[in-house]
Chains A and B, each alone.
Chain A
């Protein structure tokens, strides 16, 4: 009873804080400071039609590198911990997936993969990018597992894709130091014309690397979770 009362008081206080913030909030009419700089110079300096991509890959590229490494660390820790628990996928009894799910997965999975690739290749033109495209590809793999839980995924292939894309991301960043202004500077390739697929210098290549890396990491997480499942009741 006293516990519930304390929780109620805490919720009330948090609600009051948010309500007073809401009352004080009046949206600013124009951008200020750094945001203004990005909005004014982003299109010229980076050449990406999608300003979010320009910020995420070049101006704040180091943060993206950090996020990718955090995701890598998460995937490897999950793989490490789950590999400790005994897994034997062979003698696993699973209920057959329905015919609708099997057929739909055959039709949809290639389309999902292509859409994911589209999202990260067009990251500098349309909404989305490496993380989103990678997550879409991983959800395609998830659909494969739903249709056939015993499906084997080649771990070596996933590891190689992840390692290669991670290294190429770093090398592209270092190429920015050597050939252009600084780490992850994209202007060592031609900036091209705003809004074209071959524009924004190295941004599409970096986003392809990020997309493959994120897709491989999320896929390895799902694969690890799928392989420890054993239903033998």
Chain B
């Protein structure tokens, strides 16, 4: 029963973070929110007894891809100011 409540809470939180990631004006906040979606969905995978998927999601989804987004964002900004 407690697992069900935690899962529902996590699901609502993921939805909220997804909406923030799509709607927020500041793109840095949006990228962080997208990383948070991955982090919390990895907890959800763990609760659903898929630890392998959870590890991949935590390492790649919330770690590497977030930083790559920031790298690209930084590069794009720079080329914009060059014009």
Contacts and interface: CB of A to CB of B under 8 A. Distances in A.
Contacts of A229: 71, 74-75
A132 B59 contact: yes
Contacts of B72: 225
A229 B75 CA distance: 6
Nearest to A233: B81
Contacts of A200: none
Contacts, number: 51
B6 interface: no
Interface stretch (A135-143, A176-184, A188-196): A135-143
Interface stretch (B11-19, B24-32, B49-57): B49-57
Contact of B60 (A135, A225, A226, A233): A135
A128 B75 contact: no
B47 interface: no
B32 to A, nearest CB: 15
Report whether over half of chain A's contact residues are helix, strand or loop; otherwise say mixed.
helix
A15 interface: no
A229 to B, nearest CB: 6
Contacts of A132: 52, 55-56, 59
A178 to B, nearest CB: 30
A219 to B, nearest CB: 10
* Interface magnitude class on chain A: 20 to 34
B55 A119 contact: yes
A226 B56 contact: no
Interface residues of B, number: 16
B4 interface: no
Report whether over half of chain B's contact residues are helix, strand or loop; otherwise say mixed.
helix
A49 interface: no
B78 A230 contact: yes
A220 to B, nearest CB: 12
Contacts of B10: none
A142 B63 contact: yes
A131 interface: yes
B67 interface: yes
B18 to A, nearest CB: 13
B8 interface: no
Interface string A154-197: 00000000000000000000000000000000000000000000
A210 to B, nearest CB: 13
A129 B53 CA distance: 10
A142 B63 CA distance: 9
Given A135-B60, A142-B63, A231-B74, A225 B68 contact: yes
A139 B59 CA distance: 7
Interface string A217-233: 01001100110111101
Interface of A: 52, 119, 127-129, 131-132, 135-136, 138-139, 142, 146, 218, 221-222, 225-226, 228-231, 233
5 contacts: A128-B51, A128-B55, A132-B55, A135-B56, A218-B60
